[in-house]
Structure 1
Amino acid sequence: MIRNQSLKEKSLKEMITSVQAGDEYAQNYLLKTYQPFIAKCVSEVCKRYIDPKKDDEFSVGLAAFNEAILTYSPERGSSFLSFAKLVVKRKVIDYIRYVQKTPIAASLDESYDEEQMENPSEIIAVKEIYREEQEALHRREEIAEFNEKLKMYKLTLTELTEISPKHRDARDSAIHTARILFNDPALKEFVERKKKLPIKALVKKVSVSKKTLERNRKYILAIFIVLSNDFVYLKDYLKGVGK
């Protein structure tokens, strides 16, 4: 009881700072106190009454509100509650899309969200967080797909970290070799069919020795896989390298 009275004397900003510093008591206090606010935000998305005890959407909103507490920064130029409202709505929208497997009308671009913002910078801030989260998700998905492709060549991500050329010149040379493989229809077909390097044919087209090709063959194959697939983020690392 004494602790509750102490928290009530603090401003919302002070309590958020305490939570971000590891104060679990303040965190639980905020999550309990702002349940009506969370339910209202969720209700605005779902267009119906939300029962905190029964509706899964409320649980999603509660988790989103907690995320907002942990990630909020006043330097973004928005009030916490405006920031939290947009985070909660975004998470609930994502949840509904996931459950229904089809887009719903509500989105971050809808006017009712932006009109309720106190400062245009908070819209930018939350959308930037959303963009970063989506990009991180896509990167993870791409890495997972890349890992599956590697298995077809009996390679692993762990193995790649161990056998990747240590020197920049060696890496550039290996990437250049992979580009030659990818751009030569006959060599490309051989690699895709045999899942190995055509060493004898390749040594005639590059300026490195057979021994070097053998030593870097796994790395070359990995780069070849990247070039042969629609890996947006992985290809970004290869821009301007090995050409």
Structure 2
Amino acid sequence: MLLSIIQGLFKPKLNITELAKKAKAGNEEVMNDLLSFSKPFMKKTASYICKRPIDEHDEEYSITILGFHEAVMSFNPEENASFQTFAHLIIKRRLIDYIRKETARKDQLLSLEPNEDDSSEQHFLFNEKSIYTYEEKQRSATRKEELLIYRELLSGFNLSFEDLTKTSPKHVDARKTAFHIAQIVADHEEFYNYLLKNKRLPLKEIESLVEVSRKTLERHRKYIIAVVLLLNSDFIYLKDYVKGEII
């Protein structure tokens, strides 16, 4: 029982990230062991997100397991800061979706049961407003969390938000050009893999494709890398939030 996990505990080089990679590769035994080993983490994560104790009998725990499994199957150690950080983000998204749907369903049922003092229309408007307020709070919380993870991702490339503020192209045309180059890198598998592996842009190859000088590429290097990482991330809310602002 949990043989692969136990072996992992006594091999310094084997960690949860490596176990996740093996599970993703199709090792069902490691996947099962990883799920069992990670029960405390999943319960703690679910309880934190739901703001109440969650155990294995709760529907929220089933959603958490599905989210954890999804995180294993989509985790990329070269893109994501750490497996548990990534898993926390995926689990949170799945739980928020579940809670939002359940809240909407229950509120819709309540809207069909007006009391003697209120009309059904008043109930519907009240519950519709409650749902919107709840969803807006969840979106805001998720954006903040994505921002923290994005900061961590940038740090792996020796970048910070302060760097981006200082080096971001000041003119609209320059920003559009830099953003266009970032899109090329994000869409070009060879360029993107080079960036992830070497933590720098393949400037020579990019220069041969665009009508931009090497000096300009180097000047906007940090901005381009940051945009590439954002474009190829799963930060749904963050990308939507900055849409129209980074170009």
Q: TM-score range by the shorter chain?
A: 0.5 to 0.7
Aligned residue in 2 for 1:109: 105
Please give the per-residue CA displacement for 1:81-105, whole angstroms capped at 9, x wherever unaligned.
xxxxxxxxxxxx9433xx2164469
Aligned residue in 2 for 1:95: 51
Q: Does 1:147 align with 2:162?
A: no
Q: Which has the larger radius of gyration?
A: 1
Gap change, CA 1:108 and 1:165, over 3 Å in 2:
same
Tell me the matched-pair count. 148
Instruction: Check whether the contact 2:185–2:191 (CA below 8 A) recurs between aligned residues.
Output: yes
AA in 1 matched with 2:54: Q
Unaligned runs of 5+ in 2: 1-48, 61-98
Alignment of 1:1-243 (within 5 A): 94-96=50-52, 99-100=53-54, 102-103=58-59, 107-110=103-106, 113-114=110-111, 115=113, 118=118, 119=122, 120-236=124-240, 237-238=242-243
Q: Distance in 1 between matches of 2:196 and 2:54?
A: 38
Aligned residue in 2 for 1:66: none
SS of alignment partner, residue 173 of structure 1: helix
Q: Distance in 1 between matches of 2:162 and 2:114?
A: 48
Please give the per-residue CA displacement for 1:166-205, whole angstroms capped at 9, x wherever unaligned.
1111111111001111122221111110010111111111
1:212 Cα deviation from its structure 2 partner: 0.6
Unaligned runs of 5+ in 1: 1-92
Q: Distance in 2 between matches of 1:223 and 1:157?
A: 12
1:139 Cα deviation from its structure 2 partner: 0.6
Mean Cα displacement is larger for which, 108-117 or 213-222?
A: 108-117
1:116 Cα deviation from its structure 2 partner: 5.0
1:229 Cα deviation from its structure 2 partner: 1.2
Q: Distance in 2 between matches of 1:107 and 1:180?
A: 41
Q: Distance in 1 between matches of 2:106 and 2:232?
A: 39
Q: Distance in 1 between matches of 2:238 and 2:106?
A: 33
Q: Distance in 1 between matches of 2:139 and 2:154?
A: 22
Q: Distance in 2 between matches of 1:171 and 1:125?
A: 39
Give the TM-score normalised by the residue count of structure 1: 0.54
AA in 2 matched with 1:164: S
Q: Distance in 1 between matches of 2:197 and 2:209?
A: 20
Q: Distance in 2 between matches of 1:182 and 1:224?
A: 5
Q: Distance in 2 between matches of 1:103 and 1:163?
A: 47
SS of alignment partner, residue 100 of structure 1: coil
1:107 Cα deviation from its structure 2 partner: 3.6
Q: Distance in 2 between matches of 1:180 and 1:156?
A: 22
Instruction: Check whether the contact 2:139–2:237 (CA below 8 A) recurs between aligned residues.
Output: no
Give the TM-score normalised by the residue count of structure 2: 0.53
RMSD value over aligned CA atoms?
2.7
Q: Distance in 1 between matches of 2:160 and 2:166?
A: 10
SS of alignment partner, residue 155 of structure 2: helix
1:215 Cα deviation from its structure 2 partner: 0.4
Q: Distance in 1 between matches of 2:155 and 2:136?
A: 29
AA in 2 matched with 1:220: I
